[in-house]
Structure 1
């Protein structure tokens, strides 16, 4: 993952180095107040030669599907086979501050996803509750159609992804228990990508690696993250710890190392490879490593030891 707050001067060097080191995919983030996902994707695609670039994610509530499809189609024409488009609900609190949160987020996401995928294929779009595209005059379409994935976490949204999208993107943390549970909700009947995010650090000293990712887990335990904890033996204890903590920093500082071990891709190269394999066994098709803290450009060198 290309971190959302990576210093601007490091963005292209980070992307180019990830390409050189042999990573298969680079995911950019579109979080409110940081950097636009499409602009980042175009920049790093133009600055690299091989690596696929994913946009994770474009909020359906903030982007009309006609213009989202045009952006994706343009990237697909310019960089065939290297573009992955992620769409999601968007964080509800952010969308509410913008005045665009719909009364039925699930309906909007379904109509947006269906419309974008239809436009990319040159197909007409049936009118819906939120989405209306009354013309089929989209002429600049890619020969290689970028896959459209949904970045979602709730059971109904995961089931929707299994029905209408080319794949699903799971936010961090994505322990194997969460991947398995998500795959059951997705219940795709055909090919379906399943991308997972996790905070990551690779070090010959396993404990040092675990300590390095501790700050990246400070938000775990809040209600939105409940699906990620399903099946974990310490789930109730983690939620109780979060409730008893004065804030996210105090919570992160109190996390036992064995919990961090389960909730991250941190450890020695062999340990991290084993954790990645467990996520693939659970159903993941691509595992995304997210560097944490300072010196993230340098961290790429250590993360590359697992590939």
Structure 2
């Protein structure tokens, strides 16, 4: 009986594992193989160079500049996105005024607000980038943000935005937060809906306020969901290719202020035809992303709370 169970499990998993190995594991192995060559992308031009590409990568100031920007995103974007997602989800589910028969209730129109928050998720990232490029357009007539500031008498706050070296990366990170926070509002709302209302009511009847309820009840019970969301947002922050390519000045400008690792990889491979060196960048990205995921899962681990 036991042997039959294992045969069933192996037979059930064999095909998915084979497909995963072919389409996921195999490309990573091939990327590492290509990273050991000096390949221009043309058949028959690959030349084995060992670890020369990684040594070159170590001394490449442009790569370190791009990596630094990704790290900024890795720190700031998940924190802001998850914090806003938790705040809005908490308000939608628990932040309403007490009613006659309900101690705990969400704000009025919470279903409509969930739809509004989630709406950016159904829009293509390309469309989002184009929309926000027009918002940040420095032209006082065509740029939505500068036009709005001028209309309310705040002309001194108008700026070049994406053309300003000190602001360009912050502008793109703001778009990343805007584009993703709605997903976490819905995700955290669904997780909060599974928490028994009796727990909230008991805390409020004992004199706890909303802030204490959030940090003592909601956050600990949602920690597994928050941890998973943190890893997912970290992976998004390590990418940012489409937004930077479309929104930035001269792809990564001004003067490299918005350059990120995926964009640097793209330019190296498809503009400079250095596919071996670009593959080495891809391996470096894989290492950084895996390290982030492992460290997050390791240091954010807590005892599971049952309810």
Higher helix share: 2
Which protein is bigger by CA-based radius of gyration?
2
TM over 0.5, shorter chain: no
Higher strand share: 1
Q: Give the number of the structure with larger relative contact order, counting CA–CA contacts within 8 Å between residues 6 or more apart.
A: 2
TM-score range, shorter chain: under 0.3
Q: TM-score, normalised by structure 2?
A: 0.23
Q: TM-score, normalised by structure 1?
A: 0.23
